[in-house]
C-alpha cells in the first residue's frame, strides 16, 4: 500500500494540531509545518504519545517566500510521498476593531500571511503533489459575511484564499491536473486565535480535528467545494 504523507501547516497547536493528530490516528504519516523548532518538537512528542507517526517538521514562515521555496525543496527531498497539504497556518489580524478602525498595515500583514503566503507555499509544493495525485485542503471561513463575527482583515484574507481555491480547482479540471483542492470551514472553534472563546455552539479542537480527518478520508472527490463542518446558525 502506498505510504500516505500529509503536511499540516500550523500543526504545533490549535486546529492544525487536532487535524494532524486525527490524520495520524487514521493512518497518515504527518509532517508538522511550524515557525518554531521548540514548539514543533513539543507537538511531535505529544503526537507520538497519542500514537501518531509524526515524521518530522518543516520550517514554514508564510511571510518569507524564499524560505517557502526552501521548505518545498526540503519536503521534496525528505518526504517524496507527500500527497496531502493542509493549509491551516494563519494569523487573526486585529479582531477587536471594526472595519473603519482597522489599520491598513494590519490588513496588509494578514493578507500577506493568510493568502499570499499560503498561495506561495501551495505553488511551490504543487509539482510534488501533482506527481503523487495529491490533495490540497484549505482551512478557512465563509466569504459570505456573518452579521455576528466579521473582522475585516481576517475575513478579507480568507475570502482571497477561497477565491484561490475556486480558481485552482477550475484550472485543475480544465487542464486535467491530477490534484484536488477544496476548503473546509471548521465552524466556531475554541482556540487561542480567538482568545479561547467558548460560547454556545463552539466546538473543541478534538472534535474539529476528528471531523476534518473523517472528511479527508471519506473517499469522495471534493474538487472546488467549500465544506462547512459546523455552519454558523443564524439567530432568530
Between CA 136 and CA 120 the distance in angstroms is: 13
Cell numbers of 187, please?
A: 465552524
Alpha carbon separation from 168 to 98, 136, 175, 219 (Å, rounded) = 31, 10, 10, 21
Exactly one of 17, 57, 79, 154 is catalytic; name it: 154
DSSP 8-state symbol, 143: S
Beta strands in 71-198 (DSSP E): 82-87, 135-139, 180-185
Between CA 33 and CA 188 the distance in angstroms is: 23
Between CA 181 and CA 158 the distance in angstroms is: 15
Between CA 74 and CA 52 the distance in angstroms is: 22
Residue 148 is a catalytic residue: no
Which residues are part of the catalytic machinery? 154
Amino acid at each position: 500500500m502506498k505510504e500516505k504523507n500529509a503536511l499540516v501547516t500550523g500543526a504545533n497547536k490549535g486546529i492544525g494540531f487536532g487535524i494532524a493528530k486525527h490524520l495520524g490516528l487514521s493512518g497518515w504519516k504527518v509532517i508538522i509545518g511550524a515557525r518554531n523548532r521548540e514548539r514543533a518538537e513539543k507537538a511531535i512528542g505529544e503526537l507520538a504519545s497519542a500514537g501518531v507517526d509524526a515524521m518530522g517538521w518543516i520550517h514554514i514562515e508564510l511571510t518569507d517566500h524564499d524560505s517557502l521555496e526552501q521548505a518545498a525543496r526540503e519536503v521534496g527531498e525528505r518526504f517524496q510521498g507527500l500527497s496531502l497539504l493542509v493549509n491551516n497556518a494563519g494569523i487573526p489580524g486585529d479582531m477587536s476593531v471594526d472595519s473603519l478602525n482597522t489599520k491598513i498595515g494590519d490588513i496588509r500583514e494578514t493578507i500577506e500571511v493568510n493568502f499570499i503566503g499560503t498561495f506561495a507555499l501551495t505553488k511551490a509544493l504543487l509539482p510534488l503533489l501533482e506527481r503523487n495525485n495529491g490533495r490540497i485542503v484549505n482551512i478557512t471561513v465563509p466569504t459570505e459575511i456573518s452579521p455576528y463575527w466579521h473582522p475585516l482583515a481576517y475575513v478579507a484574507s480568507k475570502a482571497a484564499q477561497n477565491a484561490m481555491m475556486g480558481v485552482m480547482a477550475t484550472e485543475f479540471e480544465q487542464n486535467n491536473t491530477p490534484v484536488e483542492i477544496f476548503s473546509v470551514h471548521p465552524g466556531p472553534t475554541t482556540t487561542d486565535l480567538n482568545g479561547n472563546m467558548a460560547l454556545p455552539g463552539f466546538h473543541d479542537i478534538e472534535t474539529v480535528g476528528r471531523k476534518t480527518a473523517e472528511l479527508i478520508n471519506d473517499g469522495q472527490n471534493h474538487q472546488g467545494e467549500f465544506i462547512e463542518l459546523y455552519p454558523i446558525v443564524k439567530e432568530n
